[in-house]
């Protein structure tokens, strides 16, 4: 280190020691006389210096005589105790007052990247706090300098990269820079994705998502939408649309998966907001539609099974789906599909009777699909009614109620009429 260091103000640095003598023992003493060390107490000055008295392998620092007050003939010192607090669109700075008697004022500097030179500066005068207004959300780096009575803005040459007032000692070096995060909204959604698993075609599964603002400014969500190939298989039940969340608050958004066909489905729940780094917050959704079909269970293992099922599915999609009552029957069929399959597994006689009835009426369904006249007898209706009664005897109360309603509608004949099925009149046998 240099052999002499005199007439300075040496204090308020961030290191443990203000002066460290790394010269070896036996070298010339470092002349550090006539400096102000931030204190006039000699033991405190000694504690600020690292030399032979701390490590016998080092040289000695000669610090006496020392100044007993801050020197005004030395460059003005940087402000200390700088703090910075972000507001909604501002940053408030405060700092400790400089001890120099020739202090004239302070200058506040800020930029969006760290280190000097700083893009923005304002002379705030002889105050120890200042609020920078009109800031857009983001990260800022702020600092402050002090200047003395000899400071002259004209001394700073705009054509140079240095600040001449700093080099001539009339403006201090920068206080320790503070990094400040301006008030920002921050969207978070939990869970971040969701797989609904397997859901029966015609059935539904609901999931609630929590949208939270983990930022420090109001979060404004301008839209909540479902996008993707299978977006139509999902629906936002509640909590969607546009909304605002104050910092720390949350909102529940419930989304339903309602597959209308078998197979894997996927979509994205999308939130559009003013979060600066997540303008679009996407939540992947997935699920699989499955057809737990009593007809499939009943016909499993029979000859030409696929062809038979093809007739049943075509009847569902091309005939039943085209009438309000038929649509209701499709909904009821899949609503109770799992229970229907379970009953046939537990009661093989129900499965055998269902199989026999389906195979019995396949020609009738084929005739309807081909546009040909289709007829049924009262015995046919009685067989259907008996099968429904057999299921109802072992069913849950809800399934029993739905099966009873179906029996009554079949008895009235409106269903068959909508489907184009004519009931043959009973033959009268003459008495002998």
For residue 214, give Cα distances in angstroms to 190, 197, 223, 277.
12, 30, 19, 13
Instruction: Give residue 284's pLDDT.
Output: 97
Question: Are 201 and 259 within 8 A, CB to CB?
Answer: yes
Confidence of residue 420 (pLDDT cuts 50, 70, 90): confident
Q: Looking at the DSSP assignment, which residues form a beta bridge with residue 286? A: 195, 266
Is 22's pLDDT higher than 90? yes
The CATH code for residues 187-290 is 2.60.40.10
From CA 48, how far away is CA 8, in angstroms rounded? 15
Structure tokens at 392: 């109802």
Residue 224 confidence (pLDDT): 98
Quote the CA–CA distance of 409 and 383 in Å, as a whole number: 15
pLDDT, averaged across the chain: 90
3-state secondary structure of 171: strand
pLDDT at 427: 58
Name the pLDDT band for 17 (thresholds 50, 70, 90).
Answer: very high
Residue 376 in tokens: 């049924």
Q: Hey, do 83-181 and 187-290 end up sharing a CATH topology, with the first three levels equal?
A: yes
Residue 428 has pLDDT above 70, yes or no: no
Q: Rounded to the nearest 5°, which phi and psi values hold at 369?
A: -65, -35
Kind of pairing between the strands at 83-86 and 139-148: unpaired
pLDDT, residue 431, reads 57
Both structure tokens of 362 = 């396949």
Residue that is written with structure tokens 């698993």 in the block: 197
Domain locations along the chain: 1-73, 83-181, 187-290, 294-423
Give the residue-averaged pLDDT of 62-91.
91
* Crossing angle (nearest 10°) for helices 324-335 and 397-412: 150
CATH number of 83-181: 2.60.40.10
Q: Which stretch, 121-125, 177-181, 428-432, has highest mean pLDDT?
A: 121-125
Q: Express as a percent the part of the chain with pLDDT over 90.
A: 57
Distance CA 72, CA 125 (A): 19
Give the Cα separation of 345 and 11 in Å (integer).
88
pTM as predicted: 0.46
How many helices (H) and strands (E) in the chain? 10, 22
pLDDT in tens, 313-343: 898 999 888 888 888 888 888 788 878 888 8
Place 429 in a pLDDT band, splitting at 50, 70 and 90. low
Taking every pair of C-alpha atoms in the chain, what is the biggest distance, in angstroms? 149
Residue 73 φ/ψ, nearest 5 degrees: -90, 0
């Amino acid at each position: 280190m240099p052999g002499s260091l005199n007439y300075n103000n040496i204090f308020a640095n961030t290191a443990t020691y203000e002066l460290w003598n790394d010269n070896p023992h036996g070298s010339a003493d470092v002349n550090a006389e006539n400096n102000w060390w931030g204190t006039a107490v000699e033991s405190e000055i000694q504690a600020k210096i690292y030399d032979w008295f701390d490590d016998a392998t080092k040289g000695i620092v000669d610090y006496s005589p020392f100044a007993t007050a801050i020197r005004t003939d030395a460059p003005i010192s940087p402000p200390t105790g700088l703090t910075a607090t972000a507001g909604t669109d501002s940053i408030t700075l405060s700092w400790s007052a400089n001890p120099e008697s020739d202090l004239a004022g302070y200058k506040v500097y800020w930029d969006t990247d760290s280190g000097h030179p700083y893009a923005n500066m304002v002379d705030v005068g002889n105050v120890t706090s200042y609020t920078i207004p009109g800031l857009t959300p983001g990260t800022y780096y702020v600092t402050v300098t002090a200047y003395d009575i000899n400071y002259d803005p004209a001394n700073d040459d705009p054509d140079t990269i240095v600040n001449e007032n700093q080099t001539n000692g009339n403006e201090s070096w920068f206080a320790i820079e503070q990094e400040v995060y301006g008030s920002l909204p921050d969207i978070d959604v939990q869970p971040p994705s969701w797989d609904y698993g397997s859901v029966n075609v015609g059935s539904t599964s609901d999931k609630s998502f929590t949208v939270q603002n983990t930022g420090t400014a109001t979060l404004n969500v301008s839209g909540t939408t479902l996008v993707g190939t299978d977006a139509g298989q999902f629906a936002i039940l509640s909590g969607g649309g546009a909304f605002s969340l104050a910092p720390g608050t949350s909102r529940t958004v419930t989304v339903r998966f309602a597959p209308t066909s078998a197979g894997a489905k996927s979509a994205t729940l999308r939130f559009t907001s003013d979060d600066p780094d997540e303008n679009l917050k996407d939540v992947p959704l997935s699920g699989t539609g499955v057809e737990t079909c009593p007809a499939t269970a009943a016909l499993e293992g029979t000859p030409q099974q696929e062809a038979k099922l093809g007739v049943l599915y075509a009847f569902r999609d091309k005939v039943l789906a085209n009438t309000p009552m038929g649509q209701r029957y499709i909904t009821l069929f899949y609503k109770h599909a799992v229970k229907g399959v379970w009953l046939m597994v537990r009661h093989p006689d129900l499965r055998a009777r269902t199989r026999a009835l389906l195979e019995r009426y396949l020609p009738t369904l084929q005739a309807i699909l081909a546009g040909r006249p289709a007829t049924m007898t009262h015995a046919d209706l009685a067989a259907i009614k008996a099968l429904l009664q057999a299921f109802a005897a072992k069913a849950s109360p809800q399934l029993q109620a739905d099966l009873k309603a179906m029996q009554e509608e079949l008895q009235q004949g409106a269903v068959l009429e909508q489907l184009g099925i004519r009931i043959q009149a009973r033959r009268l046998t003459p008495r002998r």
